[in-house]
Amino acid sequence: MDRELAIMNANQTLRGYGFTIKKVFCESNDKTFYVFTNEIEDALTAKSVLTRNENAFYYLLIESIVKPFLESNDDTFNFSEHLAIGITSANNLARKANITIILGEKIIKNWINQYWFQKIDSESKITLGVRTLAQKSGYLIRKYGLSACKHCSIVCFHGVKCSKCNVCWHEKCLPSNTLTCSSCSSPLLMDQICK
Ligand SMILES: [Zn+2]
Ligand SMILES: [Zn+2]
């Protein structure tokens, strides 16, 4: 049985218990991950694992990572410029969440080890990690008006875009030989910023 089919079958059972295995394409390192997620308990778990300040810190980091992407008018895209924050600025954000910078540094290190964030640019910056993409895509899309990939539903920053209706795909998620949009049949544009 191939992997995709095995996961589909597993998900049919897991969903009954509030779990899903999500396939997540991570744009920043061009890799595909399979992330085991807890759909129902996510909010509750986050609350019990993180303190209120840590939770605030987490969302502050997300906001400052996404901000340059939202504000940019460039028609090219790269992670270190458009979807990242410098490590020092990230550590400094801890203060805004009433956490000391030293503790903030430790927390960020843990979050990187747990794939919530990911180091890029010779480790001088951090961007969103695969776990954040898997578990917080819905939040990112709602809160910041970002696009969801038509195929995998994970937030999509850069990829293939319909020339008319704004539908997006990660480049890896678009079935090969697809040249027109499945929603409106207009031609698709490659290498686009999806927002
Ligand atoms: Zn996708
Ligand atoms: Zn379209």
Residues 187, 105, single domain; the answer is: no
Residue 11 φ/ψ, nearest 5 degrees: -65, -30
Distance CA 62, CA 66 (A): 6
Is 6 domain-assigned? no
Based on the structure, what is the number of domains in the chain?
Answer: 2
Distance CA 66, CA 159 (A): 17
Residue 153 φ/ψ, nearest 5 degrees: 70, 0
- Look up the domain containing 64 and give its range: 42-145
Is 166 domain-assigned? yes
Q: Is the pLDDT of residue 44 over 60?
A: no
Residues 93, 55, single domain; the answer is: yes
Q: pLDDT tens digits for 159-184?
A: 999 999 989 999 989 988 888 998 89
Is 18 domain-assigned? no
Span from the CA of 94 to the centroid of ligand 1 (angstroms): 32
Residue 73's domain is classified under what CATH number?
1.10.10.10
Span from the CA of 162 to the centroid of ligand 2 (angstroms): 5
Span from the CA of 36 to the centroid of ligand 1 (angstroms): 17
Q: pLDDT tens digits for 105-149?
A: 999 999 999 899 999 999 999 999 999 999 899 999 999 999 999
Residues 108, 55, single domain; the answer is: yes
